[in-house]
Structure 1
């Protein structure tokens, strides 16, 4: 599967000598990958899970949330980060908009 200029998944059908069964199997695999990605984007992750995926400390992620720098959702009384939030935060880190501050020695 490829993506269009907006990042949306696009199914590309190649003209080759696939049998109908092979084509259907390939299509099912593509749809399965798409569904897994959609599931990931909606799934809520804890601070620790999100921090691990982002390569930052749990405390840094808490600090970013408390200062309103990152998106999050509330699940009951607990803040959570969806896969989509994590992707957005990852882009912000890559663009230099977020960084892990170094602790000052006491």
Structure 2
């Protein structure tokens, strides 16, 4: 068990302050739309609350919309692998990181 590793990469972060709407970040090269179900995303909010989520890959367009709770929305351009924050009505989103499964 002590040899298990969880590798992670930060995608969007604003130094601990709420991330402004419109900020984007590129997914690491090893994460693509076609294998996105194999990774977990840690979403952090003001107040120290974090959730691990899995992003879906069911679309037939090149832009995928993801809506979380409290109106927080992201879109992913599957051609460029760029994830963008498009809505955060309560200015509570702090960061999003991607993690592989334990290996």
Report the TM-score, using the length of structure 1 for normalisation: 0.22
Greater share of helix residues, 1 or 2?
A: 1
**TM-score (ref. length: structure 2):** 0.23
